[in-house]
């Protein structure tokens, strides 16, 4: 950790404890994510951290979301968890044509947590460091109006921003149809500038080649020009995080 940040980290721990929460379970890399997300403002970062703790204990009281809590969402087999990218980030693929706006919004929120938790855990060997990142791929191939779920997309990005700060390394959007552009413009209004800068919308073959090169063909499925097999997230065994 850089010396220059030791002061902010110490200050943030004190502020979190002042707000009535223990900090001993969390290492500097975790606090650093919240500080970066709040432009190194210790006051804002500590409030964000406490909000995260409260949210987590309310929505995820057992510390993880069990598959039995999200059966409807898993049934569609629309999320895939690939291996690690060249940079060592796990790759999660969403096939939007298999998604429909959920009737049970609470289950959908839990599903978003299940996906992000499991994707992050898949890159961890043993104990979590706290600064692990992931790559998201949103594939809009073959979607129709029935698959459009602006609320679901907004929920996903808002969860990433508020409760998984600095976890997103990059998000690639593939095969966006023309009719979806207006939906995306509306969704984008709910996405912070720092997150928008990590989103790449692929529009031509050169960009697709770059996408395969950046992730690495060993992690990119055959369907997208790589060498890997698609693996539904529920079929991937991930050891539980230690600590």
Residues 27, 207: Cα–Cα separation, whole Å: 37
Q: Which CATH architecture has domain 5-60?
A: Orthogonal Bundle (1.10)
pLDDT recorded at residue 201: 97
Residues 155, 179: Cα–Cα separation, whole Å: 21
Q: CB-based contacts of 204: which residues, under 8 Å, 6+ apart? A: none
pLDDT recorded at residue 156: 97
Domain with CATH 1.10.8 in the chain: 5-60
Structure tokens at 51: 């909000």
pLDDT recorded at residue 242: 56
Q: What is the pTM of this model?
A: 0.95
* Residues in a beta bridge with 90: 84
CB 24 within 8 A of CB 6: no
Positive or negative torsion for Cα 197, 199, 205, 206 = positive
Structure tokens at 42: 């210790």
Instruction: Give how far the C-alpha of residue 219 lies from the chain's centroid of Cα atoms, to the nearest Å.
Output: 17
Q: Which CATH architecture has domain 69-235?
A: 3-Layer(aba) Sandwich (3.40)
Domain with CATH 3.40.525.10 in the chain: 69-235
pLDDT recorded at residue 128: 81
Structure tokens at 160: 């990433």
pLDDT digits (tens), the chain, 243 positions: 445 689 999 999 999 999 999 999 999 999 999 999 999 999 999 999 999 999 999 999 999 999 999 999 999 999 999 999 999 999 999 999 999 999 999 999 999 999 999 999 999 977 788 999 999 999 999 999 999 999 999 999 999 999 999 999 999 999 999 999 999 999 999 999 999 999 999 999 999 999 999 999 999 999 999 999 999 999 999 976 654
């Amino acid at each position: 950790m850089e010396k220059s940040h030791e002061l902010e980290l110490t200050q943030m721990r004190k502020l979190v404890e002042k707000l009535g929460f223990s900090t001993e379970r969390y290492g500097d890399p975790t606090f650093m994510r919240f500080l970066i997300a709040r432009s190194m403002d210790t006051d804002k970062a500590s409030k964000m951290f406490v909000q995260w703790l409260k949210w987590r204990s309310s929505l995820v009281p057992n510390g993880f979301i069990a598959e039995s809590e999200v059966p409807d969402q898993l049934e569609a087999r629309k999320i895939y968890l690939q291996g690690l990218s060249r940079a060592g980030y796990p790759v999660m693929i969403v096939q939007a044509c298999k998604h429909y706006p959920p009737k049970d919004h609470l289950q959908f929120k839990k599903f978003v947590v299940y996906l992000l938790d499991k994707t992050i855990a898949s890159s961890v060997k043993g104990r979590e460091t706290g600064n692990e990142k992931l790559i998201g791929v949103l594939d809009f191939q073959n979607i129709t109006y029935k698959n459009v779920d602006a609320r679901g997309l907004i929920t996903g990005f808002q969860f990433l921003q508020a409760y998984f700060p600095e976890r997103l390394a990059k998000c690639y959007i593939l095969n966006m149809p023309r009719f979806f552009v207006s939906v995306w413009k509306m969704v984008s209004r709910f996405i912070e500038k720092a997150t928008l800068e990590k989103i790449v919308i692929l529009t031509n073959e050169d960009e697709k080649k770059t996408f395969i090169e950046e992730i690495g063909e060993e992690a990119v499925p055959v369907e997208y020009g790589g060498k890997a097999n698609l693996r539904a997230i529920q079929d991937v065994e991930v050891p539980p995080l230690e600590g």
